[in-house]
Amino acid sequence: MSILNKKLRHFTNNVLVQSMTSLENAIAVLSRDNEYVDKILECFSVDKTKEKVIQIGNVKNLLEDIFDLDSMAEKKDLRVKVRDIVLDKMLEDEAALFTLYGISDLDLVKKLHADHIQVESRYSAKNDVLEIHKLGKFANFCRDNKWSDLLDYINEYIRNHTKNDEFCSARLIRPIESDRYLLRAVTSDKVYRNYGINFSVLVALLSVNRYAISTKSDVFIDNYQIDDSRVYLSFRLGAPVRISDNLELSFSLILENDEIKDSSVSFSGVFQLMYTSGGRNTNITLRPNTFHYPGEMSYNTDMLTYTHSMSVEKVYDKISNLPLYIEKYVSQVAKYARAIIDIKNPNEVKSFIVEAVSKAKKDEFSKYKEDVLRKLAAIESNSIFDLFEALRSVEELFGDDIVSREYWRKKLFTLLFSRGKDSE
């Protein structure tokens, strides 16, 4: 569960100027908790003195929601030694109390009148800390058996005997209505740059805006979810592409960034197939799990990624290739679409999907398994239209559960594309 209530929105096509905003406003909003703003603008050759409108529909709503979230909490990263993060107490629901010693943040020291602070963990922070010393499962065992004295002894022993002076970054957050800081995550202190939500959104807006202008495409934000630590942002790029008399394809670029993990910031793609039959319309959304970089033989899960160890200049160099990657990606998914639509035995394909669902064991999917099987059983798939309707109804089960929904889209793409190729 998020620390702050997440903002989530879904939009239909909206490229009205009223839903857009000025570059000046975007910079003002996204400068908070973003120490690299000036370097980003320099790389993109942005002249802040010139009034420009970001040519992306619904961006105004996005920035308003980010501003609201940023106003609800204070974020702070503390550089502390790993051995100076001490477990005080194990709590229920995968949480724990820790004390951080040796704080060097002068503003916080002045506020606390001390060089240490007790924090309660959120998300995976408890395990992040405990697994440094391989204590995660054992600490849970001690908690469940009321062996807190043994756990206290072990933690004191570790602190007194470890010679590890390695530093880490303790990522804290304090909701405005609270006087207590929460520990969101513990990340590496080695060449880790804070490419947080606002950094990644600003880079994405500048890149997609450049794409919209250079290609003269209508671009709008069709959905997003943002909370205190994560962003999932979808840009619908251009008008639908007609593949055949009864099939159109639309493409969305997805930005994902998680402030509580060391993982890369990623751009990936999803595509929607809109199928017409007998005056009726249906659609399915798929997420390819491979992407072929132009000029290379390797395939990658994401279209483009950048890590927290890269310089801003290196991030810009990578992001500059985005238009080329989008062009290649759309070309590839058009081939995927043709293969899928050529499936000869849709009911057999549905049975193949049912079998795969029955064997699924991933946590992000298993909780939906029974509902998915019931949905699939409820619709006979004697045609491509029927198959699409059955699969579309399954996606509705996931609602705003991004992790499970994206897992389904990837799995479904693999299953449909493999059977589509078999039909050739």
Give the residues of the chain that fall short of pLDDT 50: 297, 422-424
**What is the residue type of 424?**
E
Give the model's pLDDT for residue 271. Answer: 92
Give the model's pLDDT for residue 407. Answer: 92
**What is the residue type of 96?**
A
Give the model's pLDDT for residue 423. Answer: 47
Question: Which tens digits make up the pLDDT trace of 205-250?
Answer: 999 999 999 999 999 999 999 999 999 999 999 888 898 888 999 9
Give the model's pLDDT for residue 191. Answer: 73
Residue 292 DSSP label: B
| Residue pointed to by tokens 């197939």 | 273
4 contacts 42 by C-beta, under 8 angstroms:
no
Give the model's pLDDT for residue 297. Answer: 45
CA dist., res. 322 & res. 210, Å (int): 10
The reported pTM is 0.89
Which of 123, 93, 124 shows the shortest CA–CA distance to 1?
A: 123
* Cα dihedral: 262, 264, 265, 267 (round 10): -150
Paired with 232 in beta bridges are 225, 256
Give the model's pLDDT for residue 244. Answer: 87
Residues recorded for the chain: 424
CA dist., res. 331 & res. 421, Å (int): 17
188 contacts 168 by C-beta, under 8 angstroms:
yes
Tell me the Cα Rg of the chain: 24
* Cα dihedral: 24, 30, 36, 38 (round 10): 10
Q: Is the dihedral of CA 291, 292, 298, 304 positive or negative?
A: negative
CA dist., res. 322 & res. 320, Å (int): 5
